[in-house]
Amino acid sequence: MEPVPLAAPRPVVQESLCRVRRTKHSQPFDQEPGFAESDSPEGAGDDRETTSRTKEAILTWTRKKRSGSQILNTETIWRRRCLEEFGMKEDLRKMEAGGVSSQDLYVKLLHPYRHILGLWQPDIGPYGGLLNVVVDGLFIIGWMYLPPHDPRVEDPMRRRPLFRIHLLESKKATVECMYGHKGPHKGDIQTVKKDEFSTKCNQTDHHRMPGGRQEEFRTWLEEEWGRTLEEIFHEHMQELILMKFIYTSQYDNCLTYRRIYLPPMMPSDLLQPGLFKGTYGSHGLEIVMLSFHGTSARATKLTGDPNVPAGQLTLDVDLSQPIDLPELDQQRNIDVLSRIILGIHEKVQRGVEQPAGDTSASVGRAAKESGGAIAESMEVDHGACADASQSGSSSSSSPPETQPFVLPLGVMARNEVYPRTWRKCFYGTGLIAGHGFTSPERTPGLFVLFDEDRFGFIWLELKSFSLYSRLTDHLPHAHAPNMERFEAMLRNMQSWTS
Ligand SMILES: [Zn+2]
């Protein structure tokens, strides 16, 4: 194999990395994680109540301990709390047999670290990511979720532990970095403000491999792409892959995470909102979050690339603009599809310029811009949405109508095998941009709903097709408390990389 040119990243990359690192180092890591009341997620229902009850329980415990009364009696209470609040099961008995009490587990591990449970996005330039922090056995584990290897978009997600926290000899919660291939080693976690935490590795030499950067790169490539660089013939793709390795490996698991929520489900939704894997050409597979906002369906990137970074709105589908596809032989003709989509695109653009106009497109836009005016937009959009919610429901007695689907000739698809029936189609726009997110532009395209778990998008200008497939992983502690919080999160996420 030719030596891999592991050159220094471009100045712009390095500069932004330094900025991130300076911020991180300005935070003290030798403190206990912040447990302040203000840290608790506002929307976590009765969290505040739970917190005060817990404080009371801890006080009682401390008092009892001081007076020397029987701790055994209170053990059942702590066990119940571990079971009910953190969903622990048989592991508790195993732990108690090993000499660690439920009380220690609750007071020293679960309660102090409860604020880091759930879904998070790492601040790692344009690339983003998806971290799921869960109680797993006697550990709290941070799992990084990775898409399957390109282009097998329907394969299950892969996951890799980045850190774990556990009780060491029932004394103190211990944080360990799990990055690299030499097993767990010393790490730190710090929560500085609400809905944000940072991880740090204290032994980064554990990430290094005997074969140096070459070996580290090959191992990363095998994990990330399931292929060697020689097997990736496309030169531009090789460049993108090298760039991602150089950029991301410099963090050495020293990352800041921001909380993300799964979208709340509304009865009017076209299909169940949630997370999907999608094909993004040379960039490989990326993770997007599909959510519904009045007459608009939006796909936001949780992972991104140097062109369109994580946090950006990759697809914006106008549900007030349904499209009826022609017969199969006509579908094969890209000119037919172009005429239909560009016709709507121009109409919608005119509607945006003249918001006073009474076309359905402009009404749809107005409803969208009002943000969260679901009741209003439902009235406007009874055609598309109300109908969709019926056919989208799995409990519906009559199966939804499907019709044959084929990609137009000349449209590039990552997967030769794609769904051959469609259920609903809508006009939408997809975000394209130059390297470094330069000159971003929303370009017209076709959103195709295949079934409850798959949809596609034809990028008209790029003459390419993206196929999206639902993530089926169980992700607890992740739903947004309400639509307002969810939309605020989307806005924040977009601003991180704008
Ligand atoms: Zn480490």
Query: pLDDT tens for residues 3-62?
Result: 444 443 333 333 333 333 333 333 333 334 433 333 333 333 344 455 566 666 666 655
In the reported structure, the alpha carbon of residue 191 is separated from the centroid of ligand 1 by a whole-number distance in angstroms of 18
In the reported structure, the alpha carbon of residue 200 is separated from the centroid of ligand 1 by a whole-number distance in angstroms of 8
In the reported structure, the alpha carbon of residue 447 is separated from the centroid of ligand 1 by a whole-number distance in angstroms of 42
The token pair that represents 456 in the structure block: 């596609």
In the reported structure, the alpha carbon of residue 169 is separated from the centroid of ligand 1 by a whole-number distance in angstroms of 22
151 cis-preceded (ω within 30 degrees of 0): yes
In the reported structure, the alpha carbon of residue 361 is separated from the centroid of ligand 1 by a whole-number distance in angstroms of 52
In the reported structure, the alpha carbon of residue 162 is separated from the centroid of ligand 1 by a whole-number distance in angstroms of 8
Give tens-digit pLDDT for 201-222: 999 999 999 999 999 999 999 9
Would the pLDDT of 329 be above 50? Answer: yes
Would the pLDDT of 318 be above 50? Answer: yes
In the reported structure, the alpha carbon of residue 217 is separated from the centroid of ligand 1 by a whole-number distance in angstroms of 17
> Any residues with CB less than 8 A from the CB of 226 and at least 6 apart, and which?
149
Give tens-digit pLDDT for 463-476: 999 999 999 999 98
> Any residues with CB less than 8 A from the CB of 454 and at least 6 apart, and which?
154, 419, 467, 468, 469, 470
> What type of residue sits at position 257?
Y
In the reported structure, the alpha carbon of residue 204 is separated from the centroid of ligand 1 by a whole-number distance in angstroms of 5
> What type of residue sits at position 437?
F
In the reported structure, the alpha carbon of residue 184 is separated from the centroid of ligand 1 by a whole-number distance in angstroms of 8
- Where do runs of H (alpha helix) occur along 135-276? 212-225, 235-249
In the reported structure, the alpha carbon of residue 146 is separated from the centroid of ligand 1 by a whole-number distance in angstroms of 19
* C-alpha to C-alpha distance for 426 and 322, rounded to whole angstroms: 4
In the reported structure, the alpha carbon of residue 220 is separated from the centroid of ligand 1 by a whole-number distance in angstroms of 15
* C-alpha to C-alpha distance for 363 and 373, rounded to whole angstroms: 12
> What type of residue sits at position 19?
R
Q: What angle do CA 242, 244, 245 make, to 5 degrees?
A: 65
Segment (H or E) for 456: strand 454-459
* C-alpha to C-alpha distance for 97 and 181, rounded to whole angstroms: 31
* C-alpha to C-alpha distance for 432 and 164, rounded to whole angstroms: 38
Specify the range with the lowest mean pLDDT, choosing from 188-192, 230-234, 337-341.
230-234
Tell me the pLDDT band of 459, cut-offs 50, 70 and 90.
very high
The CB density around residue 54, as the number of other CB atoms within 10 Å, is 18
In the reported structure, the alpha carbon of residue 26 is separated from the centroid of ligand 1 by a whole-number distance in angstroms of 20
Judge whether 123 and 258 are in contact, CB under 8 Å: yes
More confident residue, 146 or 399: 146
Q: Specify the residue for token string 């836009």.
A: 365
The token pair that represents 416 in the structure block: 């030769």
In the reported structure, the alpha carbon of residue 160 is separated from the centroid of ligand 1 by a whole-number distance in angstroms of 13
In the reported structure, the alpha carbon of residue 91 is separated from the centroid of ligand 1 by a whole-number distance in angstroms of 27
Q: Is 498 helix (H, G, I), strand (E, B) or coil?
A: coil
More confident residue, 86 or 357: 86
> Which residues are paired to 177 by β-bridges?
163, 185
* C-alpha to C-alpha distance for 455 and 278, rounded to whole angstroms: 9
The token pair that represents 4 in the structure block: 């891999």
In the reported structure, the alpha carbon of residue 474 is separated from the centroid of ligand 1 by a whole-number distance in angstroms of 27
> Which residues are paired to 259 by β-bridges?
120
The predicted pLDDT at position 404 comes to 97
Residue 354 exposure: Cα atoms within 13 Å on the Cβ side: 8
CA dist list (Å): 484 to 9, 130, 187, 302 = 39, 22, 35, 19
- Where do runs of H (alpha helix) occur along 113-211? none
DSSP string for residues in 395-435: T-SSPPP-EE--PPTT-EES-S----EESEEEEEEEEEEET
* C-alpha to C-alpha distance for 85 and 110, rounded to whole angstroms: 9
Q: What is the CA radius of gyration of the chain?
A: 25
In the reported structure, the alpha carbon of residue 183 is separated from the centroid of ligand 1 by a whole-number distance in angstroms of 9
In the reported structure, the alpha carbon of residue 134 is separated from the centroid of ligand 1 by a whole-number distance in angstroms of 19
* C-alpha to C-alpha distance for 116 and 192, rounded to whole angstroms: 12
The token pair that represents 87 in the structure block: 């969903």
The token pair that represents 35 in the structure block: 């447990």
**Percentage above 90 pLDDT, the chain:** 63
Q: Is 388 helix (H, G, I), strand (E, B) or coil?
A: helix
> Which residues are paired to 443 by β-bridges?
430
The predicted pLDDT at position 205 comes to 96
Would the pLDDT of 356 be above 80? Answer: no
In the reported structure, the alpha carbon of residue 207 is separated from the centroid of ligand 1 by a whole-number distance in angstroms of 6
In the reported structure, the alpha carbon of residue 97 is separated from the centroid of ligand 1 by a whole-number distance in angstroms of 31
In the reported structure, the alpha carbon of residue 203 is separated from the centroid of ligand 1 by a whole-number distance in angstroms of 5
Judge whether 323 and 425 are in contact, CB under 8 Å: yes
First to last CA, the chain: 39
The token pair that represents 110 in the structure block: 């679960």
In the reported structure, the alpha carbon of residue 209 is separated from the centroid of ligand 1 by a whole-number distance in angstroms of 12
In the reported structure, the alpha carbon of residue 188 is separated from the centroid of ligand 1 by a whole-number distance in angstroms of 10
In the reported structure, the alpha carbon of residue 312 is separated from the centroid of ligand 1 by a whole-number distance in angstroms of 30
In the reported structure, the alpha carbon of residue 208 is separated from the centroid of ligand 1 by a whole-number distance in angstroms of 9
Give tens-digit pLDDT for 105-124: 899 999 999 999 999 999 99
Q: What are phi and psi of 119, to 5 degrees?
A: -100, 140
In the reported structure, the alpha carbon of residue 255 is separated from the centroid of ligand 1 by a whole-number distance in angstroms of 11
* C-alpha to C-alpha distance for 255 and 75, rounded to whole angstroms: 37
Judge whether 152 and 140 are in contact, CB under 8 Å: no
Give the closest residue to 328 by CA, choosing from 412, 417, 403, 411.
403
In the reported structure, the alpha carbon of residue 21 is separated from the centroid of ligand 1 by a whole-number distance in angstroms of 16
Strands 131-136 and 139-146: antiparallel
The predicted pLDDT at position 44 comes to 38
Mean pLDDT within 361-366: 36
- Where do runs of H (alpha helix) occur along 201-234? 212-225
In the reported structure, the alpha carbon of residue 9 is separated from the centroid of ligand 1 by a whole-number distance in angstroms of 22
> Which residues are paired to 160 by β-bridges?
144
Q: Is 167 helix (H, G, I), strand (E, B) or coil?
A: strand
Q: Is 227 helix (H, G, I), strand (E, B) or coil?
A: coil
User: Mean pLDDT for the chain?
Assistant: 82
